Amino acid sequence: MFDVLTGSIKNAVNKIRFKDDAASLKKAITELRKSLLKADVHHKTTKELILAIETNTKNSGIGQESFLRALQDELTKVLTTAGNQGFVYSNKPPTTILMTGLQGSGKTTTTGKLANYLKLRKKKVLVAAADLQRLAAVEQLKQIAAQVEVDIYFDDNETDPVQIAKKAKEKAISGLYDVLLIDTAGRLAIDDELMVELENVKKIVEPDEIFYVADSLTGHDATRTATTFKEKIGIDGVVLSKYDGDTKGGVALSIAHQVGVPLRFIGTGEKMPDLEVFIPNRIVGRLLGAGDIEGLAEKTAAVIDEKKAKEVSRKIKKGQFNFNDFLDQLSMMKKLGSMKSIIGMIPGLSAMAGPLKDMDFENSDEIKRIKALISSMTVKERENPDLINLSRKRRMAKGAGISEVQINKILKQFKNAAKMAKKLSGKGGMKGLQNMMSQMQGAGGPGPNLPR
């Protein structure tokens, strides 16, 4: 999602080859200006950003390090807007959030993603289907609620969204819910009817916050519509949807700078877990190719059971990792979301990930074959793969619908992976892994290093 900007920043940095070379700084600034405008950054934002970076670089002494530091500082300033980050809970539950946006912005899906995000953090969530404007919007939210396993309030006989919102709030209070997310109606364009409806819903439920869901792919239009919603209805935060499909990435800079409302979350994929808190300094780290280790740690901590993780770690060290453990790990990986969203968080890897970004481990043919094989095993075979002999392989081949050759290949891969994991978990294991990553970075070339 930052491909264009990250690549362009790297090209701009490379223009500065010598210290105190004013001509090379001018080339770098020109390259950066063109890149920002091409990436859909608002022209006013670009102008202010470029001026500040150039001034700060000159004041610190022209060079790659000072240019990068200025770039890092000014990007962080642009993305930092007064207001809350992430999700803020009310002192008097339920925390009520009004989800607003135009039709097609991904508002209903984002409501589901936010519900999933909160559920993973042990919150009791109720979603309300108050979008009666778009056909199938209620049905879509029903399916999403079932998928992420949260409660939903709807009334197929009610035609007034204000009443839906009111009764949903009553249910949230009586049911002792922590959070109420109200999916409101949108339109193809902003009109008076939409604003009156939203104002009425706002009055009846008295939301703690109003989130505006903006479609990243609409570029400058996302900035304009967010500004209008802020002026007419009042919004407390913006959620950027479909950000994984926006290789330009400049809309985040434009909205933060021009709208004056904090970006709260970004949608990083199609799956329900693909929603991330928008924290400016972390986003800048990813823009500069430095990844987001803190974000990755938080993401994994929310879905990975600490006791299970310790147990798996113990088994790996002893070489006892089995197929049941593998299925558990696969289930946890699924909760993390798309591989594409995870790759960008790993320093240096986003620049050289290539095909990895588009891999779907859960639905790949290889994973399907492994799952079929495991399903054909007995309990003892899963726990101790060494029991699997020729006759057992023949039985499993029939049950899984794969050949004995494929079974042998999977078992060999599993055994080799277990050995590698055991080796890396021992003394000096991480050093070997770091050496391997260094060699990969030398070959592929990660993004520029951030100054400390």
Write the CATH number for 44.
Answer: 1.20.120.140
Residue 196: inside a domain, yes or no?
A: yes
Residue 449: inside a domain, yes or no?
A: no
**CA 68 to mean position of chain CA atoms:** 25
Among 261, 288, 315, identify where a domain stops.
Answer: 288
* Vertex 273: Cα angle to 327 and 254 (nearest 5): 150
What confidence score (pLDDT) does residue 345 get?
A: 55
- Per residue in 189-198, pLDDT tens? 777 888 888 8
Quick one: tokens of 102? Answer: 């135009």
Residue 85: inside a domain, yes or no?
A: no
Q: What is the CATH number of the domain that holds 429?
A: 1.10.260.30
**CA 317 to mean position of chain CA atoms:** 31
Claim to verify: residue 241 and residue 107 sit in the same structural domain: yes
Among 288, 310, 340, identify where a domain stops.
Answer: 288
What confidence score (pLDDT) does residue 438 get?
A: 46
Rounded distance, CA 270 to CA 113, Å? 10
Claim to verify: residue 159 and residue 246 sit in the same structural domain: yes
DSSP 243: G
Rounded distance, CA 10 to CA 308, Å? 40
DSSP codes joined into one string, 308-338: HHHHHHHHHHHT---HHHHHHHHHHHHHH--
Q: How far is CA 284 from CA 74, 147, 291, 331, 336, in A?
A: 10, 33, 9, 31, 22
Among 265, 288, 311, identify where a domain stops.
Answer: 288
Residue 429: inside a domain, yes or no?
A: yes
Burial pattern 173-211, b for ≥16 Cβ within 10 A else e, equals eeeebbbbbbbbbbeeebeeebeebbeebbeebebbbbb
Claim to verify: residue 440 and residue 407 sit in the same structural domain: yes
What confidence score (pLDDT) does residue 259 get?
A: 82
Closest among 186, 420, 176, 174 to 317, alpha carbons compared? 420
Residue 87: inside a domain, yes or no?
A: no
Q: What is the CATH number of the domain that holds 191?
A: 3.40.50.300
Claim to verify: residue 265 and residue 409 sit in the same structural domain: no
Claim to verify: residue 237 and residue 159 sit in the same structural domain: yes
DSSP codes joined into one string, 15-54: T--STT-HHHHHHHHHHHHHHHHHTT--HHHHHHHHHHHH
Residue 180: inside a domain, yes or no?
A: yes
Residue 307: give the domain boundaries.
298-444
Rounded distance, CA 96 to CA 90, Å? 8
What confidence score (pLDDT) does residue 167 get?
A: 95
DSSP codes joined into one string, 358-400: G--TTTSHHHHHHHHHHHTS-HHHHH-GGG--HHHHHHHHHHH
Burial of 52 (0-12, 13-18, 19+ CB in 10 A): middle
- Per residue in 276-303, pLDDT tens? 888 877 777 766 655 555 555 555 665 6
Claim to verify: residue 69 and residue 144 sit in the same structural domain: no
Quick one: tokens of 62? Answer: 């022209």
Give the dihedral of Cα atoms 19, 452, 266, 120; nearest 10 deg: 160
Claim to verify: residue 175 and residue 283 sit in the same structural domain: yes
What confidence score (pLDDT) does residue 163 get?
A: 94
Quick one: tokens of 191? Answer: 């009109």
How many other β-carbons are positioned within 10 Å of the β-carbon of residue 105?
24
Tell whether pTM > 0.85.
no
Claim to verify: residue 222 and residue 156 sit in the same structural domain: yes
Domain count, the chain: 3
Residue 450: inside a domain, yes or no?
A: no
Claim to verify: residue 243 and residue 370 sit in the same structural domain: no
3-state secondary structure of 164: helix
* pLDDT tens over the chain, length 452 residues: 455 666 677 777 777 776 767 888 888 888 888 888 887 788 888 888 889 888 888 888 888 788 888 888 888 888 887 776 778 888 889 999 999 988 888 899 999 999 999 998 899 999 999 998 888 889 999 999 999 999 999 998 888 999 999 999 999 999 999 999 999 988 777 778 888 888 999 999 999 999 999 887 776 778 888 888 888 888 888 888 877 665 556 777 777 778 888 888 988 878 888 888 888 777 777 666 555 555 555 556 656 666 666 666 666 666 667 787 777 766 666 666 555 556 555 554 454 444 444 445 555 677 778 888 888 999 888 888 888 899 999 999 999 898 988 888 888 877 776 666 666 555 554 444 444 444 434 444 444 444 43
How many other β-carbons are positioned within 10 Å of the β-carbon of residue 139?
12
Residue 380: inside a domain, yes or no?
A: yes
Claim to verify: residue 218 and residue 302 sit in the same structural domain: no
Quick one: tokens of 272? Answer: 């329900």
Claim to verify: residue 24 and residue 167 sit in the same structural domain: no
Question: Who contacts 418 (Cβ-Cβ below 8 Å, separation ≥6)?
Answer: 316, 319, 321
H or E segment to which residue 228 belongs: helix 220-232
Claim to verify: residue 192 and residue 239 sit in the same structural domain: yes
